[in-house]
Amino acid sequence: MTSRGGVWAVNGVNMPPSSLLRPELWLSRAMSRRVLEPDCPGKRWLVAGLGNPGLPGTRHSVGMAVLGQLARRLGVADSWTRDRRCVADLALAPLGDAQLVLLRPRLLMNVNGRSVAQAAKLFGLTAEEVYLIHDELDKPLGKLALKLGGSARGHNGVRSCISCLNSSAMLRLRVGIGRPVHRSAVEDHVLGCFSPDEQELLPPLLDRATDLLLEHIRARSQGPSAGP
């Protein structure tokens, strides 16, 4: 923090003297602006982990768990910056000549799309340059699949993204969580935490999901965009 002629600056962002009462607010804004500064010599991709903030251990938030593993793999797990414009946490990570914008929405699953669409707008990205990571009821735990476009298949977070982006062209990494036998148990299953036995399967699952995602992004970054 420096002072020039009575005007203070935090990380290059000017602060009027009256704002010194809340320096943490200005620091947050400064960091939020700086997240957009790094130049990207190659392609840029937005990777969003869908889930419910505050409920990281639930099946419905497994997309956020994969995103967290991706951030650790890329060495940016301690670089999250809260961005009020997106109502989300953001982290930038280099991947060769490309750059990944990691997005962790702070909105509930049913309206995650607002964060995704706003981030895409801020970084000048199209729906085709967006990756969604989300849970998938129709696949057993441990199964992964990449899907390009298509309907939301009943997933409210994906439906929100399609609506807010006005497109279904996003690449989706579907992470299986299994479907309960009785339909009446679906909500409790989705919003519930993984069982102890399931938790033992999570570390290798998160690693495989991260591998699959990085392999696909690297391939797309080197040539024309293609489907999974």
How far from 98 is each of 68, 81, 88, 146, 223, CA to CA, in Å?
Answer: 19, 20, 22, 20, 12
Which tokens go with 122? 């801020």
Helix (H, G, I), strand (E, B) or coil at 228: coil
Residues β-bridged to residue 118: none
Cα–Cα distance measured from residue 211 to residue 196, given in angstroms and rounded to the nearest whole number: 24
Catalytic residues: 60
Helix axes 156-165, 112-122, angle to 10 degrees: 40
Torsion from C-alpha of 136, 137, 142, 145, nearest 10 degrees = -40
What type of residue is 145? A
Please enumerate in sequence order all residues whose Cβ is within 8 A of that of 181, keeping only pairs 6 or more positions apart, or say none.
none
Please enumerate in sequence order all residues whose Cβ is within 8 A of that of 15, keeping only pairs 6 or more positions apart, or say none.
7, 8, 9, 23, 26
Which tokens go with 75? 């060495």
